Structure 1
Amino acid sequence: MIAAPSEFDVHLFHEGKLYQAHKLFGSHLIKKRSATLLTRFTVWAPHAVSVSVVGNFNNWDPGAHPLEKLNNEGIWSIGVERDLEGEVYKYSIQTASGDVVLKADPYAFYSELRPNTASIVYDTKGYTWNDKLYRQRVRRRRPVYERPLAIYELHLNSWKQKEDGSYYTYRELADELIPYIKDRGFTHIEILPLTEHPLDASWGYQGIGYFSPTARFGTPHDLMYFIDHCHQEDIGVLLDWVPGHFCKDAQGLYMFDGEPTYEYDTFSDRENIEWGTANFNLAKGEVRSFLISNALYWIETFKIDGLRVDAVANMLYWANSEPAAVNPYTIEFLKELNTAVFNEHPQFLMMAEDSTDWSNVTTPVHEGGLGFNYKWNMGWMNDVLDYMERSPFERKHHHHKMTFSLVYAYSENFILPLSHDEVVHGKRSLLHKMPGDYWEKFAQLRLLLSFMIVHPGKKLLFMGAEFGQYDEWKFVQGLDWFLKEYDSHAKTDVFTKDLLAFYLGQKALYQLDHEPEGFEWIDADNAEQSIYTFIRKGKRKSDTLVIACNFTGITYETFKVGVPMKGKWTEVFNSNRTEYGGSGHFHETNTETENVSIHNRDQAISISIPPFGMTVWKPYK
């Protein structure tokens, strides 16, 4: 016999407001003075006739440890008077139709390595964190909106593999990955989903164990070690998170007790046909408690710094509806999720991957918004890549694609993503997308990355682009690290490091990222030459940058640009330097303004504009 959860906890769970549901449900070691008295199992199975916990410890006998039904709404529990830490288990559920199904624990903290599918009793307590200084710095820092944010997106399976094709562990990645990120100047890493999932090819986006870090790379404590060491090197850790849909494998959440439990009741609402998954039923309080608890569990147990919420566009509208109809339960859920997160963790990052034109995604809930603090700018990504893939001679006819984003740049807090989705399934790598010969491809990759850095918005780059991965993302094997032995790729790697160092050192590129005062066009209409000139501003006049981007292979030895102030200007960055693989058109000396009326200004500087290059100028102190 085990004490039932309190009536208040049960009420909150069913209402959708038990935000620590993982402390009640799942398997827990009940201890007294470090001695384990029993192992408690609690599960929600509202349609079940009976539930038992089975595992090696009872020879998988469903009659050995039946759970007691605690209320009429489907909460079952048992206390097994043994220390079962490390034991594998499942729930044996008899359905209303008389079938018996074996299910992994929805709240399990650890799971077997695929292809095995059982849950494992695991105590997440006991890891000693050493990132106190990092967390103190985060609390003291200015809001993220005024700071640089450069995210390195990666897939742990395929970032790097050992010679035999096996994966690096979380602890080994601490030694391999963290110095690499630190050396290149990224402020954060964003990891594709780490929730346990049965199929490698889903990249983690079709999960089963929402509370289980995947066993592919080690234990939950091993993941804590990795995150802890990221923090010690001042690197934030973001995770992709999928609250919209889940995998339909037999051991998972799908038809958990023989009937729709975590998913919608009707076929049309339930089935996510495009991905072969099931949509979470966000109308159910128990499902909202599950998901919001899950978000807080990752934050509080693993001390992550942000969640990128996947496929928000697919959540906002009912599945399979024609015409598209808004799902009001999603709106309610997202608002409740973000409110719960920011009430407890105001410095946290909640980022929406949303390709719709839904308004106020990054407006606080109390002001009528969905409550995220960032949204991926999918429109910018689509327009920029469409433009870059065109012949340089054709670009003048599509000049607006590079300027349109500034029409709406301040409608949300945007992240500019060049993500995994753009370099897979036949889309080619960023380098391979670029038209022209070998040299021109590398020059235009440098220009693309430069344009992302100087455009308003925070930055995200998928792994491999930093050194010019030529093949598209091959998620079954590691990146082509051997390419760095070749001159052009090695120089691209140097360029990326210098570009990020430049970004981190220039307040004009991040301080007013989300304020219209931080950007001003010099000439947005030079379609004939495919040259864009503009100004980025910080809070101080002396931080001002004048930027020129040339999207053709033509060199301009003398090009006049109107500037906002008189005096000497110095070139502070040039993507065309020889050490980056460029042709070497850059300025070694300062240039003085001329009293020339151009671009609606009475001062101008004469500069050299390199082919497929970006050059940046700053007032000389």
Structure 2
Amino acid sequence: MAEATLAGLSEQDVYLFNQGSSYHSYRFMGAHLTEREGVSGVRFAVWAPNASEVRVIGGFNGWEGSGHCMGQIGTTGVYTLFIPHLKEGELYKYELVTQEGVPLRKADPYAFLTELRPGTASIVTDLQSYRWNDSAWLQDKKRHTPYSRPLLIYEAHAGSWKIKGKEHFYTYEELAAELVPYVSGLGYTHIELMPLSEHPLDQSWGYQITGFYSATSRYGKPKGLMSFVDACHRHGLGVILDFVPGHFCKDDHGLRLFDGTPLYEGYDANRAELPLWGTLAFDFSRCEVVSFMISSALYWMDLYHIDGLRVDAVANMLNLHMDKPPHMHTYNELGGRDNLDALRFLKRLNEVVFHYYPDALMLAEDSSAWPAVTSPTYKGGLGFNFKWNMGWMNDMLRYMSLHPDERPHHHHLITFSLCYAFSENYVLPLSHDEVVHGKRSLLNKMPGSYEEKFAQLRLFYGYWMTHPGKKLLFMGGEWGQFDEWKDGDMLDWMLLGYESHSSMLDYVRALNHEYRSLPSLWERDAEPEGFQWIDVHNAQQSVISFIRRGRSSFSVVIANFSGRDYGDYRVGVPEPGDYGLRIHSGGFGFGAAALGQPDRYVAENTSWHGQDQSISIHLPPFTFMLLAPCKGDTF
């Protein structure tokens, strides 16, 4: 094609796109409002190297594209066309004619907005005119490293936190007005949103995507999402978005067989097919796919001011055999099962994100034992800065579901995590995946009576909050949602009318604020020096105690996982002086008024647990206690 077919695109842009090095390809691919020779209109660009013809169709031409054929730029596979006089709001698709002459109607892979399902057309959209008011947040973020700061994440599904009726969702603006102050008031530092990229099926929760650049229309327009993020930042909350680079859904209007050939998914069906999910894996051996997906990550940060990405299903991306029957197993060029293309992609993704956003959060949802996930790529790592600690989560939920009489025989489940707690920078996740598909809610995993369930959940939350690692809790867990998560309904907010649930909310709020106020609980999360056992061996009584240390402070934790009352329990402490009771899990909920616990303990010169000093406490059943040295008359 003649050079004029660039239609305002740079030859360098297209070259880098073909090389897998165009990290902002959304700036020229897709539909852009622009001017050409003084005439306003829309420039379209799409990658379809194996099509015999590509046309733009839409309401403006009666969905008949013979008059709007696109031109290919050389042999790059990139087709472009400028259509004058088109405006924002126009619906469009690409009509791609295969080598066999079959026309396919496809949504724009780079669409910035998509019709509300079941519609599938792309929509011309301007994303540049939103006026942000979060400059103070962005500047403050640059002054702190996330490793030595509190990180307390509230995970939310926008379509079921609250709803007005079946499929009658809150808008982004309404979520900004209600969800944001609620989460901020509870003391969280970040909101993590389950995927907001456009997806056709509500029940996929956003994990099976058709629009990797489209904020879903279920909750409104793109500028509504921008206003939500803006509100979060003004309330001191960061925003983490679930990012899904591992696969895409097979809907006809999406990426599957985009130009009549396996383009985004690759030619080997055994490698492309993900039978467990009914989706297709991206082929990261294709440079243009790498440009597409890395640009998507930066797009959410550039245009929506997203603070970080939780990268979904890393283990599945890295393992060619995961969740596949033997007859579908494929091997890399070295004869192994590692997906080397996905490995290279993840490393480059992190390198590029941190190049442009050194203060970003990149969290790996990784259930494998892959080494050095949170080590820099120049040291051989994957380059994330945090990894979900799935081992801790699985061990603790198994332990907490045991009858208390069985717990002494499984004491290792609450102690083993400290053998590897500092091998990565961890987040301790209590996510949506643990409260669906018959797994029961966190509250209902706890054994025993109604009262004992609440007592044990408070105990568990206390141990979770003081264990090394950053924190994540799925919505509803903060007040003890009794039923497991129902994605088609909203949370059972009416439960807050019951004292047991409202007290749980008070407890979580207090625990969150104590966590944030005590540097010993987060300042040295990834350092062995930040943790010290006081007593790790008391399996018979199901009691553990330990010290958390910051740079210049420490706190003491005692947790009784048994149903027995220990009236005079002695605990070693590292220094003389007074210890203030910061949190007692029994002080929230049943019997709180009769707790009768002192709020200050004086260390005695009695050696215990290898410490020179000790204190004597009353330790009721299923109790968590957090103490810190007093400073004068305060603590």
Per the alignment, residue 365 of structure 1 pairs with 377
Question: Once the two structures are superposed, what CA deviation does each residue of 1:463-520 show, in whole Å capped at 9, x if it has no partner?
Answer: 0010110000000010000000011011111111111011011110000111100000
Q: 1:471 aligns with which of 476, 483, 497?
A: 483
After TM superposition, give the deviation of residue 573 of structure 1 in Å. Answer: 1.2
Q: 2:20 aligns with which of 1, 16, 20?
A: 16
Q: 2:98 aligns with which of 92, 95, 102?
A: 95
Distance (Å, rounded) in 2 between the aligned partners of 1:283 and 1:462: 35
Distance 1:309 1:589, change over 3 A: closer
Per the alignment, residue 119 of structure 2 pairs with 116
Distance 1:619 1:361, change over 3 A: same
Per the alignment, residue 31 of structure 1 pairs with 35
Distance (Å, rounded) in 1 between the aligned partners of 2:65 and 2:140: 51
Corresponding position: 1:574 with 2:584: yes
After TM superposition, give the deviation of residue 163 of structure 1 in Å. Answer: 4.5
Per the alignment, residue 129 of structure 2 pairs with 126
After TM superposition, give the deviation of residue 591 of structure 1 in Å. Answer: 2.3
Distance 1:288 1:589, change over 3 A: closer
Per the alignment, residue 138 of structure 2 pairs with 135
Distance (Å, rounded) in 2 between the aligned partners of 1:124 and 1:42: 17
Distance (Å, rounded) in 2 between the aligned partners of 1:539 and 1:133: 27
Question: Once the two structures are superposed, what CA deviation does each residue of 1:542-593 show, in whole Å capped at 9, x if it has no partner?
Answer: x211110011121212100111112222222111104576585453242222
Distance (Å, rounded) in 1 between the aligned partners of 2:590 and 2:312: 35
Compute the RMSD of aligned alpha carbons: 1.5
Per the alignment, residue 230 of structure 1 pairs with 232
Per the alignment, residue 175 of structure 2 pairs with 173
Question: Once the two structures are superposed, what CA deviation does each residue of 1:443-473 show, in whole Å capped at 9, x if it has no partner?
Answer: 1111111111000000000000101100000
Question: Once the two structures are superposed, what CA deviation does each residue of 1:506-545 show, in whole Å capped at 9, x if it has no partner?
Answer: 11000011110000001111000100110001111xx211
The answer (yes or no) to whether the contact 2:29–2:46 under 8 Å persists in 1 is yes
Distance (Å, rounded) in 2 between the aligned partners of 1:524 and 1:491: 30
Question: Once the two structures are superposed, what CA deviation does each residue of 1:587-613 show, in whole Å capped at 9, x if it has no partner?
Answer: 324222223232112211101112111
TM-score normalized with structure 1 length: 0.97
The answer (yes or no) to whether the contact 2:5–2:72 under 8 Å persists in 1 is no
AA in 2 matched with 1:115: P
Q: 1:152 aligns with which of 151, 154, 172?
A: 154
Per the alignment, residue 530 of structure 2 pairs with 518
AA in 2 matched with 1:156: A
The answer (yes or no) to whether the contact 1:576–1:586 under 8 Å persists in 2 is no
Is there any run of 5+ residues in structure 1 with no aligned partner, and where? none
Per the alignment, residue 201 of structure 1 pairs with 203
Q: 1:274 aligns with which of 255, 276, 280?
A: 276
Q: 1:604 aligns with which of 584, 598, 614?
A: 614
Per the alignment, residue 64 of structure 2 pairs with 61
SS at match of 2:168: coil
The answer (yes or no) to whether the contact 1:578–1:584 under 8 Å persists in 2 is no
The answer (yes or no) to whether the contact 1:546–1:618 under 8 Å persists in 2 is yes
Report how many residues are paired.
Answer: 617
Distance (Å, rounded) in 2 between the aligned partners of 1:432 and 1:490: 16
Corresponding position: 1:418 with 2:430: yes
Percent identity reads 50
After TM superposition, give the deviation of residue 138 of structure 1 in Å. Answer: 1.1
AA in 2 matched with 1:417: P
Question: Once the two structures are superposed, what CA deviation does each residue of 1:129-160 show, in whole Å capped at 9, x if it has no partner?
Answer: 011111121122x2111111100001000000
Is there any run of 5+ residues in structure 2 with no aligned partner, and where? none
Distance (Å, rounded) in 1 between the aligned partners of 2:160 and 2:183: 16
AA in 2 matched with 1:22: Y
The answer (yes or no) to whether the contact 1:586–1:608 under 8 Å persists in 2 is no
Distance 1:586 1:452, change over 3 A: farther
Question: Once the two structures are superposed, what CA deviation does each residue of 1:154-198 show, in whole Å capped at 9, x if it has no partner?
Answer: 100000011465100001111111111111111100000000000
Corresponding position: 1:557 with 2:560: no
Deviates more, 1:295-304 or 1:598-607: 598-607
The answer (yes or no) to whether the contact 2:579–2:630 under 8 Å persists in 1 is yes
After TM superposition, give the deviation of residue 69 of structure 1 in Å. Answer: 1.4
Distance (Å, rounded) in 2 between the aligned partners of 1:309 and 1:104: 24
The answer (yes or no) to whether the contact 1:575–1:582 under 8 Å persists in 2 is no
AA in 1 matched with 2:608: I
The answer (yes or no) to whether the contact 2:320–2:330 under 8 Å persists in 1 is no
Per the alignment, residue 615 of structure 1 pairs with 625
SS at match of 1:162: strand
AA in 1 matched with 2:17: F
Per the alignment, residue 299 of structure 2 pairs with 297
Question: Once the two structures are superposed, what CA deviation does each residue of 1:200-229 show, in whole Å capped at 9, x if it has no partner?
Answer: 000000000000000001111111011101
Per the alignment, residue 250 of structure 2 pairs with 248
Corresponding position: 1:79 with 2:91: no
Per the alignment, residue 326 of structure 1 pairs with 338
Distance 1:578 1:113, change over 3 A: closer
AA in 1 matched with 2:513: A
AA in 1 matched with 2:133: N
AA in 2 matched with 1:611: P
TM-score normalized with structure 2 length: 0.95
The answer (yes or no) to whether the contact 1:571–1:587 under 8 Å persists in 2 is no
Q: 1:385 aligns with which of 397, 408, 411?
A: 397
Distance (Å, rounded) in 2 between the aligned partners of 1:580 and 1:31: 68
Question: Once the two structures are superposed, what CA deviation does each residue of 1:262-320 show, in whole Å capped at 9, x if it has no partner?
Answer: 01211111101110000000111000000000000000000010000000000011143
Distance 1:580 1:80, change over 3 A: farther
SS at match of 1:158: coil
SS at match of 1:111: coil
Question: Once the two structures are superposed, what CA deviation does each residue of 1:315-369 show, in whole Å capped at 9, x if it has no partner?
Answer: 0111433797101111110111101000110000000000000011000112211
Distance 1:10 1:32, change over 3 A: closer
AA in 1 matched with 2:16: L
The answer (yes or no) to whether the contact 1:491–1:581 under 8 Å persists in 2 is no
